[in-house]
Amino acid sequence: MKKIIFPLLVASLSSAALANDYLVDQKDKAFSKKSLKIKVGDTVEFRNSDPFFHNVFSLSDVKSFDLGSYAQGSSKKVVFDKPGKVEVECSIHPQMQMVIEVEK
């Protein structure tokens, strides 16, 4: 039993250790990146640097989420756990759009 659990534990710990964090800023009603390539398990932090609210969300099948509206100086994080293309938008500012490509 131990022989099975131990390798699984090591594998999960090592993949978590390899995961990267990325920062996407929201400034002047625009995302700081139009596109971003990350790996499965990586985290993206969406920071609001504008003096008004933003509301980041995605309707993509790969990862749908809604971070709610939050003010300047705040940030929220999303872990991307499946590969594929994720289109990210702001519900308050429809012109704000970016794409995150999550690779295996």
Partner 1 sequence: MKLVTVLLAGMLATGVGYAQEKRLDPQQAVKACSPGMVDDDCIVRHFKDTVEASVIRGRLVYENYCILCHGKEGKGDGRAAKLHDPRPFNLTLSVAPRDYIAQVVRKGGESMNRGKGMPPWGDQLTDEQINDTLNFLWSIRVYK
Residues in contact with 64: Cβ distance below 8 Å, sequence separation at least 6, in sequence order? 57, 58
Nearer to partner 1, 47 or 54 (CB): 54
Taking the complex as a whole, the smallest distance from the CB of residue 63 to partner 1 amounts, in Å, to: 12
Nearer to partner 1, 32 or 72 (CB): 72
Q: Where are the alpha helices (DSSP H) in 20-94?
A: none
Residues in contact with 86: Cβ distance below 8 Å, sequence separation at least 6, in sequence order? 58, 60, 62, 63, 80, 99, 100, 101, 102
Taking the complex as a whole, the smallest distance from the CB of residue 14 to partner 1 amounts, in Å, to: 33
Taking the complex as a whole, the smallest distance from the CB of residue 69 to partner 1 amounts, in Å, to: 4
The site for partner 1 (CB under 8 A) is made up of: 52-53, 55, 57, 59, 64-66, 68-69, 91-94
| R_g of the chain computed on alpha carbons | 16
Nearer to partner 1, 66 or 81 (CB): 66
Taking the complex as a whole, the smallest distance from the CB of residue 52 to partner 1 amounts, in Å, to: 4
